[in-house]
Amino acid sequence: MTDFAHVFSTEGPLVQAIPGYRPRPQQIEMAEKIGAAIRSHGVLVAEAGTGTGKTFAYLVPALLAGGKVIVSTGTKTLQDQLFNRDLPTVRAALKVPVSIALLKGRANYVCPYHLARNARDGRFLTAQDAADLRAIARFADRTQTGDKAECTEVREDSAAWLAATSTRDNCLGQDCPDVKECFVMNARRNAMDADVVVVNHHLFFADVMLRDEGMGELLPACNAVIFDEAHQLPETASLFFGESVSTAQVLELARDTRSETVAAARDCVAMIDESRNLEKAARDLRLVFGAESARLSAAQAAERQGFEVQVDALAAALQKFEAVLETQAERSEGLANCLRRSQEMGERLNNWQNPGEKDLIRWVEVFAHSMALNATPLHVSDVFKRQLEAQPRAWIFTSATLAVGRDFGHYCRELGLAWMDPPPDTAVWGSPFDYGEQALLYSPQNMPDPNAPDYIERVARTALPLIRAAQGRAFVLCTSLRAMRRVHELIAQGLEGSGDKLPLLLQGEGSRTELLERFRRLGNAVLVASQSFWEGVDVPGDALSLVVIDKLPFAPPDDPVLAARVEHMQKQGLSPFIHHQLPRAVINMKQGAGRLIRTECDRGVLCICDPRMIEKSYGKVVWRSLPPMRRTRVEADAVAFLEALPPPKGSGAGGD
């Protein structure tokens, strides 16, 4: 049995190989628990506070256990960090001959077939897109992996990537003429051969649970699955156990079919006509909702004039399109693939129109230029539990935020772990940081109810003196995009009025990665953002000393998925608020609060404006779940704490 105490000790291999590494008791205990779970093919649900060093705590036992291990992370950023930095570091320190592989979804790899075809067609909206595609083509000639993360000269959100990658729908698979050069296939072969494979949750569910080609062979071969950022699993599982048909998918199918027809069946004019009819049907369905973006239940959508008529019209157009396509499919692999996509799309659309007796939540999401018909499972616990019981292996679920207090009941019920026999092992390790010394939690007095008309103005007014005291270095995190935009506007006015020349950034002005790079580089910036910056964002050091949160992060009660789950729980005699909404809000709030203190040297103030945290009994559940910071309700205390911090390093004053 491995002596983890030695591995993590002051005389151990990690200290000798990693500059600045320091042993932590919580990390050793966690590694021992994970090692025991891997040996016994057990299930462990573990919360490890920020600074515990949970990554090394699971990598060490994973690398020493022997056998195949899948590590699934919440984001591609964390995936890259694990594969490029953490895994090689631990492997070198332990001197173990373990092979590792990185596997992402197919949209992350250049597709030689689609790249060449779209480069030939040369149809681009802008000169920049055309230039980006040429840069991707040069990258494709020299890369070993085809991973778009390595192509730094093309922005991650460039439209050219759509022309240079494949989707599950348009991939030709083994029939592709460029299959031997396929980066996706190569990555999957490497993953099959490796001892440790790093994936992300989306890929895990898309390719393992749905048994997509190739990846479905990974899970049966592995001895352990480790989920990092495991708090995201219930939401991600809901996406992939459901079904969706979007107008964007329909338009892509019509365009791809038209290109394949021009290439292989130019004489079939009917195919071109039907592709245009299909596009019109998709666009007409989107136009039912005008310019708005929204999330609606199927019943609410049905109340919109023309909605059901246009859904029927889309289904009819798809049927006619498929009938013509069937007569041409044998003329090329591309047309045959378009037929398969058309049939699958027709089946999903029919399932949405005629859901039968399944426990599905049918809802509609409307975006700026497209809309989707979604069918989401009411609960994923049964499906996930079947995966856990399919074959003996260890399952490790870890995150900084899984429990409410020390209770994992909510999380275990959502994933079906609560009904396992034997039940899962659970553990909580608090952060080793000295929160009482390093941080202050400020809950301002006299805040109005969050539903009050002037609440957003009061949030901005509360934030401004703190921002000035911190000399910028602040995140202002909002629970809605509307609040985010208004708070940004008010803070801009306030800073201008007082003559404070602090750089003010807003989510959406660039990609998340770009904004974070600017924030770190400036050193005295203020970033106003919404939920997407609440987690997975790491700004250690002096650049971030203040986090302001506008409200307790309860999901909107009119959200169609939440509303359906609330109704279902009420029928079961459960309190949706106590068993679902409050635990979710606690976990989200812990994520937001976790942005502030990232190292033993960080210091700062967390300001939560919502008065319900103090005044309501459920607010105290949130209050008690936050790290043990010193607490105050007096603005002067928070200002004094911030003013006592060392001034920002460097100066980004005046904007970037």
- In this predicted model, what pLDDT tens digit does every residue of 263-294 receive, in sequence order? 899 999 999 999 999 999 999 999 999 987 88
What distance, in Å, lies between the first and last C-alpha atoms of the chain?
55
Which H or E run includes 139? helix 127-142
Cis geometry, peptide bond prior to residue 13 (ω within 30 degrees of 0):
no
Radius of gyration of the chain from Cα atoms? Answer: 26
Three-state SS at 395: strand
Token pair 């910028």 in the structure block, residue: 472
Whole-number Cα distances in Å, 481 to 232, 459, 529, 531, 532: 21, 15, 8, 9, 10
* Structure tokens given for 440: 């202050």
Residue from 32, 42, 41, 102 nearest 64 by CA: 32
**Which residues are within 8 A (CB) of 168 and not within 5 positions of it... i.e. 6 or more apart?**
106, 206, 212
Question: 514, 620 in Cβ contact below 8 A?
Answer: no
Question: 440, 641 in Cβ contact below 8 A?
Answer: yes
The Cα–Cα gap between 375 and 363 comes to 6
The Cα–Cα gap between 440 and 630 comes to 5
| Domain 4-105+185-239+380-429 -> CATH class | alpha beta
What φ, ψ does residue 434 adopt, rounded to 5°? Answer: -90, 80
Whole-number Cα distances in Å, 403 to 4, 412, 436, 532, 588: 26, 10, 21, 21, 11
Token pair 């079939």 in the structure block, residue: 268
The Cα–Cα gap between 548 and 543 comes to 15
Helix, strand and coil in the chain, % to nearest 5: 55, 15, 35
Strand order in the sheet with 394-399: 100-102, 196-200, 69-73, 224-227, 394-399, 43-48, 425-429
| Predicted local confidence at residue 182, as pLDDT | 93
Token pair 């979007």 in the structure block, residue: 246
Three-state SS at 393: coil
* Structure tokens given for 112: 């030689």
Question: 64, 98 in Cβ contact below 8 A?
Answer: no
Residue spans per domain, the chain: 4-105+185-239+380-429, 241-377, 435-643
Three-state SS at 523: coil
| Predicted local confidence at residue 443, as pLDDT | 96
The Cα–Cα gap between 517 and 513 comes to 6
Pairing of strands 294-297, 360-366: antiparallel
The Cα–Cα gap between 648 and 467 comes to 12
The Cα–Cα gap between 508 and 244 comes to 26
Handedness of CA 591, 593, 598, 599 (dihedral sign): negative
Domains 4-105+185-239+380-429 and 435-643 equal at CATH topology level = yes
The Cα–Cα gap between 23 and 6 comes to 10
| Predicted local confidence at residue 655, as pLDDT | 35
Residue from 247, 234, 246, 248 nearest 377 by CA: 234
Which regions in the chain score pLDDT beneath 70? 1, 123, 125, 207-220, 357, 650-656
- In this predicted model, what pLDDT tens digit does every residue of 120-134 receive, in sequence order? 877 676 888 889 999
Q: What is the CATH number of domain 435-643?
A: 3.40.50.300
Which of 1.10.275, 2.60.40, 1.10.357, 1.10.10 is the CATH number of 241-377? Answer: 1.10.275
Token pair 């005295």 in the structure block, residue: 524
